[in-house]
Structure 1
Amino acid sequence: MAQNSRVTLSKSQLSREKENLASYRRYLPALDLKRQQLMAERNRARIACADLEQAMHRAIEEAGATLPMMAEHRLDLKGLVTLEEVLIDMQNVAGVRLPQVRAVQVKVAPYGPMTRPHWVDALVRRLTEAVRLRAEMQVAERRMALLDKAVTRVTQRTNLFEKILIPQAEKNIRRIMVFIGDTERAAVVAAKLSKSKRAREKVARPEARA
């Protein structure tokens, strides 16, 4: 989108440059607003991701601290709680489609209360919470990655308008106006000189005949 530095020094080009400049200035505030919205959403996503990670680790640590019986190797707890499905909705934020969790479905393997210790029920609750939090954290990380990419892209476009296109259009307008002004002044001077010359020639012609 960068303009060619070899701009045509003409009134028609001056009109185009002015139109371009007006368009850039009109579009820049909307672009900057979008950047601010995406940055704010990215900050919220970063906080949410950190909160989910802390909550997940806390759920795992609490399971280990409150249920020391987990260390009893005679019990096979493998596959007791597994992630079955994560239902995702798409949210539109400033033109960017972002995933958000609608529901997390966790599968608990059937177990008989007579064949398992009584604390397995509490363990299942804590593991279910940890699995759910992990799934939500993964979606939050994906959301944050998309926002990082979107912020980078819109920042690049903002800089393009703010630091390249607008200054270049302003520079082109000044160059063209200076050129046109110089050309018009030169034309006026040339016209006056021509008029003066004709006047001198007109005065000189009768004298030559005499």
Structure 2
Amino acid sequence: MARLQLNKSSLAREAAQLRSYERFLPSLDLKRQQLMAERAKAVAEVAALQAEVDRLAAQVGRDVPMLSNRDIDLGGLVELTDYHLAEENVVGTCLPVLDRIEVTVRPYSPMVLPHWVDHVTHLLHDMLTARLRVQVARQRVEVLDGAVKTVTQRLNLFDKVLIPTARANIKKIRIYLSDEQTSAVTRSKIAKRKRGAA
């Protein structure tokens, strides 16, 4: 770090930096609060979506106990073929948003498979969609966690390092300039007295 210059221009520079730091501090704090509120909403959304997945799993077990029959091959009946994530800008942070989901149901003959397979395909479709939504919601929480951490670090940098340092530098420069002014006045009085005595 450069050595602190003890002069009026350095004092003006430090004062200008302090004003800008103090001006940006409230906006950083507001951004942190907004990100934390958005993170709380995302965590609640993850919990709600996970509850939906659990509800669907319980419904499958309750409504279709015939799935335990290993003689009927349902492997690959319903597959997630494609999905697309878009981005949403929330307080300067790009968050993933599930834009499109494509789930395909493998064609099957209703004459070969039992009648309850139709119900199973609907439930599996809903389950795949719900699980994908949970994954995207968890990604949103991770991104928001990182954003909150970054903004908190910046806020701490301003609040605990830059502002106190600028204030200490201003105080040091003012004391030095005051001492210089006092010493100059004293020197001029001594010189005036010597001229008056001579």
Shorter-chain TM-score range = over 0.9
Task: Output one character per residue of 1:9-32: Cα deviation in whole Å (capped at 9) or x when no partner.
Answer: 111100100010011011111111
CA displacement, residues 27-72 of structure 1 (integer Å, 9 cap, x when unaligned): 1111111111111111111111111112112211210111111111
**Correspondence 1:1-12 to 2 at 5 A:** 4=1, 6-12=3-9
Query: Which residue in the other structure is 2:26 paired with?
Result: 29
The gaps in structure 1 that reach 5 residues or longer are: 202-210
Q: For the residues of structure 2 that align with 1:102 and 1:92, how far apart are their CA atoms?
A: 14
2:174 maps to amino acid = M
Range 157-166 or range 55-64, more displaced: 55-64
Partner AA of 1:77 in structure 2: L
Q: Given the alignment of the two structures, is residue 187 of structure 1 paired with residue 184 of structure 2, yes or no? A: yes
Q: Cα offset for 1:6?
A: 3.7
- Residues 77-88 of structure 1 aligned to structure 2 (within 5 Å): 77-88=74-85
Q: Deviations over 1:87-115 (max 9, x none)?
A: 22210011111111122211111111111
Q: Paired residue for 1:50, among 28, 47, 50?
A: 47
CA distance in 1, matches of 2:84, 2:119: 26
Partner residue, 2:96: 99
Q: 1:5 offset after TM fit, Å? A: 7.8
Which of the pair has more CA radius of gyration? 1
Where do residues 110-189 of structure 1 align in structure 2 (5 Å cutoff)?
Answer: 110-189=107-186
- Aligned to 2:100, what secondary structure does the other structure show? strand
Number of aligned positions between the proteins:
198
Unmatched runs of 5 consecutive residues or more in structure 2:
none
Q: Structure 1 stretches (4+) deviating beyond 6 angstroms?
A: none
- Quote the Cα distance in structure 2 between the aligned partners of 1:173 and 1:195: 33
| SS, match of residue 97 in structure 1 | strand
RMSD of Structure 2 on Structure 1 (CA) = 1.1
User: How far apart in 1 are the matches of 2:88 and 2:173?
Assistant: 47
C-alpha displacement of 1:134:
0.7
